[in-house]
Structure 1
Amino acid sequence: MSKPRNTKLATTLLAALFLALAGCRSELQNTPDPYGDGYTPVGGAGSQHPLPSASTQPAPLERRTPLDRPELARVVTPRPGSPRLKPLGIPNGAPTRVKLKLLVIAATEDESGLSALKTFLPQIGVPFDTLIATQTDLTAQTLEAEPGLGNYNGVILTTAGLSYYDGSAWASALDASEWSLLRQYEADYRVREVQYFSFPDGAGTGMSWNSVASGTPNTMTLTADGRSVFGYLKVNAQIPLKDTYTYFGTPVGNAKPLLTTPEGTVAATTSWPDGRESLSMTMAHNYYLTHSSVLTYGLVRWVSRGVFLGEKKMYFSAHIDDYFLPNDTWDVNLKRNNLSFRLRPTDLQSTASWQTSFRTRFPTFAGFKFELFYNGLGFTPQAASNCNPAANSIDPLTSKSKCLKSNFYWGNHTYTHLFITNPAGPGPYTTFPPDPNNPGQPEDSFSLSRMNYELGDNIKIAGPTGLNLSANDFDAGTLVTGSHSGIGYYDYEGPEDNVGGPPDIPAAKINEGKSKSNPNLVTAMNTNAIRYLGANTSAPTTAPLCTSSAADCNQNNPSPNAGVWLTGPNLPQNSVLLVPRYPVNIFYNVDTIAREVDEYNHIFASFWAQYGRTTPLTWDEILTLESDAALMRIISGSMNPHYFHQINLRFENGSSLLTAFVDAVGQKYNAMFDLPIQNLKMTRIGDRMRPHGLRRRWCASHLESHDWDGHRDRQQRRPDSPDQPHTWHSVRTGSRRIGNQRSDPDCRHGTLR
Structure 2
Amino acid sequence: MKRTIRTTALVAGALIASLGLPAGPVHADAPPPRIDLRVLVVSDGGPATDAIAAELETAGTPYTEVDLRDAGRPVIDAGFLADTVDGRPRARYQAVVLPNDNPFPAGSAEMTALADYERTYAIPQVDAYTYARPEVGLQPAVGTGYAGGVDGVRAEVTQAGLVGPFGYLDGAVPFEDNSPTVDESYAYLSTPAPGADFVPYVQAAIPGRATKGSLVGEYRHDGRRELVVTFVYNRHQQQFRLLARGIVEWMTGGVHLGADRNYFAVHVDDVFAADDRWDTELNCTPGDVDCPPGEGTPDPIRMVPADVDHATAWQDSRDFTLDLAYNGSGSVDHRQDNGGADPLTDKLIADRSRFRWINHTYTHAFLGCRQDTVVVPWKCATNPDGSTQWMSRSEIADEIATNRVWGESAGLPLENGELVTGEHSGLKVAPQQPEDNPDLGPALTDTGIAWLASDNSRDPVQRQVGSATTVPRYPMNVFYNAGREAEQVDEYNWIYTGRAQGGSGICEDNPATSTCLAAPLDPATGYAEHIVPLETRIALGHVLSNDPRPHFIHQSNLAEDRIAYPVLDGVLEGYDGLFADSAPVVNLRMADIGAEMQRRAAWRSAVDAGRVTAYRVGDAVTVRAPDGVAVTATMPVGTRQGDTDFGDAYAGTLSGWTPAPGGTLALALPPSAAVPGAPAGSTADTEPVVTTAPRTRVPAGVTEPVPYGAER
Q: Same fold (TM over 0.5)?
A: yes
* Structure 1 residues 408 and 510: CA distance shift in structure 2, 3 A: same
State the distance in 2 between where 1:265 and 1:730 align. Answer: 31
2:321 alignment partner in structure 1: 369
* Structure 1 residues 394 and 4: CA distance shift in structure 2, 3 A: closer
Deviation at 1:202, TM superposition (A): 1.9
2:452 is equivalent to residue 533 of structure 1: yes
What SS does structure 2 have at the residue aligned with 1:346? helix
Which structure 2 residues correspond to residues 437-448 of structure 1 after superposition, within 5 A?
444=389, 446-448=391-393
1:462 alignment partner in structure 2: 407
State the distance in 2 between where 1:332 and 1:284 align. Answer: 45
Q: 2:621 aligns with which of 693, 709, 713?
A: 713
Q: 2:257 aligns with which of 291, 294, 309?
A: 309
What SS does structure 2 have at the residue aligned with 1:148? strand
What SS does structure 2 have at the residue aligned with 1:341? coil
Deviation at 1:4, TM superposition (A): 12
2:234 alignment partner in structure 1: 286
Deviation at 1:649, TM superposition (A): 0.9
2:535 alignment partner in structure 1: 626
2:331 alignment partner in structure 1: 379
Deviation at 1:727, TM superposition (A): 8.3
2:572 alignment partner in structure 1: 666
* Structure 1 residues 729 and 517: CA distance shift in structure 2, 3 A: closer
State the distance in 2 between where 1:297 and 1:181 align. Answer: 28
Counterpart residue type for residue 632 of structure 1: G
What SS does structure 1 have at the residue aligned with 2:64? strand
* Structure 1 residues 4 and 430: CA distance shift in structure 2, 3 A: closer
1:245 alignment partner in structure 2: 186
State the distance in 1 between where 2:598 and 2:371 align. Answer: 30
* Structure 1 residues 727 and 279: CA distance shift in structure 2, 3 A: closer
2:48 is equivalent to residue 144 of structure 1: no
**Deviations 1:94-123 (Å, cap 9, x if unpaired)?**
43221101111122x3x2123322322112
2:347 is equivalent to residue 400 of structure 1: yes
**Counterpart contact for 1:696–1:747, Cα < 8 Å:** no
**Counterpart contact for 1:380–1:398, Cα < 8 Å:** no
Deviation at 1:212, TM superposition (A): 2.7
* Structure 1 residues 679 and 469: CA distance shift in structure 2, 3 A: same
2:100 alignment partner in structure 1: 159
Q: Which shifted more, 724-733 or 218-227? A: 724-733
State the distance in 2 between where 1:483 and 1:601 align. Answer: 23
Deviation at 1:593, TM superposition (A): 1.5
Counterpart residue type for residue 598 of structure 1: D
Deviation at 1:444, TM superposition (A): 4.4
1:219 alignment partner in structure 2: 154
2:628 is equivalent to residue 724 of structure 1: yes
2:588 alignment partner in structure 1: 680
Counterpart residue type for residue 323 of structure 2: E
State the distance in 1 between where 2:632 and 2:574 align. Answer: 37
What SS does structure 2 have at the residue aligned with 1:129? strand
Which structure 2 residues correspond to residues 592-631 of structure 1 after superposition, within 5 A?
592-606=484-498, 614-617=518-521, 618-619=526-527, 620-631=529-540
Deviation at 1:486, TM superposition (A): 0.8
What SS does structure 2 have at the residue aligned with 1:676? coil
Q: 2:304 aligns with which of 344, 348, 362?
A: 344
* Structure 1 residues 411 and 173: CA distance shift in structure 2, 3 A: farther
TM-score by length of 1: 0.71
Counterpart residue type for residue 355 of structure 1: Q
* 5+ long unaligned stretches in structure 2: 178-183, 207-211, 287-297, 373-377, 383-387, 499-505, 641-645, 674-712
2:655 alignment partner in structure 1: 743
* Structure 1 residues 317 and 173: CA distance shift in structure 2, 3 A: farther
* Structure 1 residues 530 and 173: CA distance shift in structure 2, 3 A: farther
What SS does structure 2 have at the residue aligned with 1:280? strand
What SS does structure 2 have at the residue aligned with 1:684? helix
2:32 is equivalent to residue 124 of structure 1: no
State the distance in 1 between where 2:69 and 2:106 align. Answer: 8
Counterpart residue type for residue 661 of structure 1: V
**Counterpart contact for 1:350–1:651, Cα < 8 Å:** no
2:38 is equivalent to residue 101 of structure 1: yes
Counterpart residue type for residue 287 of structure 1: R
* Structure 1 residues 324 and 4: CA distance shift in structure 2, 3 A: closer
What SS does structure 1 have at the residue aligned with 2:140? strand
**Counterpart contact for 1:713–1:730, Cα < 8 Å:** no
**Counterpart contact for 1:207–1:268, Cα < 8 Å:** no
Counterpart residue type for residue 67 of structure 2: I
What SS does structure 2 have at the residue aligned with 1:677? coil
* Structure 1 residues 713 and 174: CA distance shift in structure 2, 3 A: farther
Deviation at 1:271, TM superposition (A): 4.2
| Alignment length (residue pairs) | 580
State the distance in 1 between where 2:623 and 2:416 align. Answer: 40
**Deviations 1:530-561 (Å, cap 9, x if unpaired)?**
1100011111xxxxxxxxxxxxxxx324xxxx
State the distance in 1 between where 2:166 and 2:469 align. Answer: 35
TM-score by length of 2: 0.75
**Identity value in percent:** 26
Deviation at 1:745, TM superposition (A): 3.1
Deviation at 1:658, TM superposition (A): 1.1
State the distance in 2 between where 1:621 and 1:428 align. Answer: 34
Which structure 2 residues correspond to residues 72-83 of structure 1 after superposition, within 5 A?
none
**Counterpart contact for 2:480–2:553, Cα < 8 Å:** yes
**Counterpart contact for 1:208–1:251, Cα < 8 Å:** no
* 5+ long unaligned stretches in structure 1: 6-81, 163-171, 360-365, 385-390, 432-442, 491-508, 540-554, 558-562
* Structure 1 residues 184 and 699: CA distance shift in structure 2, 3 A: same
Q: 1:698 aligns with which of 591, 599, 606?
A: 606
Deviation at 1:86, TM superposition (A): 6.4
Q: 2:395 aligns with which of 433, 447, 450?
A: 450
Q: 1:586 aligns with which of 478, 486, 491?
A: 478
**Counterpart contact for 2:380–2:432, Cα < 8 Å:** no
What SS does structure 1 have at the residue aligned with 2:544? helix
2:323 is equivalent to residue 417 of structure 1: no
